[in-house]
A and B are shown apart, each in its own frame.
Chain A
C-alpha cells in the first residue's frame, strides 16, 4: 500500500493504518531504535510506541513521506527512552559515541540552547546540510541521524572506514566553523 493511502487511513481513524504501517515499516523502524538502544526488547517497545504516537498525531499531521515521519518519531522515542533508562550498562553505545563526537562541533562557551532556540539551530543545520555534497550529507546523517555504525555508513557511502572517519572529522570541523560564523559564541 502506498504511503499516502496509509496516511489517509490514519485520517479516517481506520485502525488498519497501524497494521499497514507495521507491515511496511516495522523492520525499518526497529533498526533505527536498535541503533540507539542496543536492546531488542526496548526497541520493540519504542517502535510500538511509535505507532501509538503516529495514531495520535495524524490528524492533524499529514506527512508526505510516511517512512521519514515514523522514523523521526522512532528516533525521538528511542532517545527519550534512553534518557529515561537508568542503567548505563544496558547499551546505547553508538548513541553515546555520536554524542561525544558531536561535542567537537559545538563551539565552546555557551550551550546552543543558551544562544538560540532549537528551531533556529535546526534551520542552521538545514543550511549547513545544503552546503554538503550528497555523499558528505549521507555520511553525516547516516552517522548522526540514524546512528549507523561507522563501517556501515562507510559501506553505503562507498568509501573505506578510515576515509569515512576522517571525512566525518572534517564535516564536524566545518559544522563548528559554520555555527560560529552564524552567531555561536566561542
Chain B
C-alpha cells in the first residue's frame, strides 16, 4: 500500500522536526494557545504581501484611503477599520517556509479561509473564477495578481450570500467558505452578522461550548434550545457599535457560540471576559454585550 509506505518513511524523518512537534504536544493546552504567536509573522508575510498588492501595487482598483471599504459596508467612516494584515519582514528562519493558510484574490479583495460546511453542496453557486494557487512565500510581490492565491482551484458564489463578502471552494471533505475579512470597516455587529451572514434568516441550531471544553478531549457542547431568545440577543448584538479589540479591557476567551443556519453556514462567536463578544475570524473587532444570561 503506497500510503503505508509513506507513513513508514515518515517514521525516519529528522528528529529535530519530531522534537519540535513533540514539545508542542506535551505542553498543557493553556500554554499551547500562545505557542504560535511567532507564526503570526509567517502568516502576515503571505497575507501582508497580498495586502500590498491589494493597495494598488499590482494595478488593481485603487482604494480611496484607509477608511474606504472595499466591501461597501455601512458606517465605514465611523467604524473600526480592519486593515490588510501587515507586512512583517521575514526572519531568516521563516523566509522560505510554506504556510498553508488559504486565500485568494478576486476583484481586488482578499478572501481568507474561514470554515468548512461538510454537507454544503447546496451552497455552491455560479463559478466566478479560478485561483492559481501559486502564491507562497517565494512569490515576488509583482505576482500577487487577480486570480492568484495560496490555494488553487475554482471558486464559486455562495448561494444566498453577497460575493463581495463570501465565496467558496469545493473539496471532497466539504465546501470551504472564504471571507473577505480584511481591508474592511465594521461599524456595528450587524455589519458582519447581517450583511455578511444574514443571521436574521434564522438560526436553525446553536451550541455553546466552554473554553475549557475546546481544549479538552471530549469537546463537550451544549445545545441552546431557546432560539428565539438567542435571535433577539443576536439582534441586539447587531446594533452594538464595533470596538477595537486592542483598545478594550477584554478578558480571556471564556466560551464559544456556534450559530448554524439552515443552509449549514455557521457563525462562530467568541465569548470574552468582561462582557465582550467577537466573531472568531475577525479578532480585531469586538462588541460589548452581556452574554452570560444567554448560555446554559
Do A and B interact with each other, yes or no?
A: yes
Footprint of B on A, CB under 8 Å?
Answer: 28, 63-65, 67-69, 71-72, 75-76, 79, 95, 98-103, 105-106, 111-113, 118, 121-122, 125-126, 129, 131-139, 141-142, 144-146, 148, 151-152, 155-158, 160, 162-163, 165-167, 169-171, 174
Set of chain B residues within 8 Å of A64, measured between Cβ atoms: 15
Stretch of B24-32, B55-63, B67-75, B243-251 that contacts chain A: B24-32
A71 touches B22 (CB 8 A): yes
Report B133-163 CB contacts with A as 1/0, cut-off 8 Å: 0000000000000000001000000000000
Partner of B21 from the list A121, A131, A141, A174 (CB cut-off 8 Å) is A141
Stretch from B95-103, B122-130, B198-206, B288-296 contacting the other chain: B95-103
B7–A79 CB distance below 8 A? yes
Residues of B within 8 A of A71 (CB): 18, 22
- Picked from B13, B29, B217, the residue with its CB within 8 Å of the CB of A122 is B13
Rank and list the top 10 A-B pairs by shortest CB-CB distance, nearest first.
A162-B116, A102-B3, A103-B3, A106-B2, A133-B97, A133-B99, A99-B3, A167-B100, A122-B12, A121-B9
Task: Report the count of interface residues on B (CB-CB < 8 A).
Answer: 55
Name 19 A/B residue pairs within 8 A (Cβ), A-sorted.
A64-B15, A68-B22, A79-B11, A103-B2, A106-B5, A106-B6, A112-B2, A112-B6, A125-B9, A132-B97, A132-B98, A132-B99, A133-B97, A134-B38, A135-B99, A141-B10, A162-B115, A169-B171, A170-B102
Q: Which residues on B sit within 8 Å (CB–CB) of A100?
A: 3
Q: Are B1 and A133 in contact (CB under 8 A)?
A: no
Task: A72 to B13: give the CA distance in the assembly, Å.
Answer: 10
Given contacts A102-B6, A129-B14, 10 further A-B contacts (CB under 8 A): A28-B26, A64-B15, A95-B7, A112-B9, A131-B96, A133-B100, A134-B42, A142-B25, A145-B11, A146-B21
Q: Which of A132, A157, A166 has the most CB of B within 10 A?
A: A166
| Contact yes or no, B100 A136, CB < 8 A | yes
A145–B116 contact, CB under 8 A? no
Cα–Cα, bound, A175→B199 (Å): 39
Is B32 a contact partner of A99 (Cβ separation < 8 A)? no
- B220 within 8 A of partner (CB): no
Q: How far apart are the CA atoms of A63 and B39 in the complex, in Å?
A: 29
State A91–B113 Cα separation when bound (angstroms).
34
A50 nearest CB across to chain B (Å): 13
CA distance A107 to B181 in the complex (A): 36
Enumerate chain A residues within 8 angstroms of B214, measured Cβ to Cβ: 155
Q: Which A residues are in CB contact (< 8 Å) with B13?
A: 122, 125-126, 129, 141, 145
Task: Report the separation of the CA atoms of residues A119 and B9 in the bound assembly, to the nearest whole angstrom.
Answer: 8
- Taking a contact as CB atoms under 8 Å apart, the answer to whether B21 and A142 are in contact is yes
Distance to closest chain B CB from A3 (angstroms): 11
* A66: min CB distance to chain B, Å: 11
Q: Please report the C-alpha to C-alpha distance between residue A146 and residue B25 in the assembled complex, in whole angstroms.
A: 10
* Shortest CB distance B30–A (Å): 11
Q: In the complex the two chains form, is A169's CB within 8 Å of B173's CB? A: yes
Question: Which of A68, A75, A162 contacts B19 (CB under 8 A)?
Answer: A68
The answer to whether B171 touches A166, judged by C-beta atoms less than 8 angstroms apart, is yes
CB–CB B2/A158 < 8 A: no
Interface centre among B17, B33, B176 (most CB of A within 10 A): B17
Residue on B nearest A163 in the bound complex, by CB = B113
Of all chain B residues, which has the CB nearest A28?
A: B26
Cα–Cα distance between A134 and B6 once the two chains are bound (Å): 20
B25 touches A148 (CB 8 A): yes
Minimum distance in angstroms from A155 CB to a CB of chain B: 6
Q: Are B39 and A133 interface neighbours, CB within 8 A? A: yes
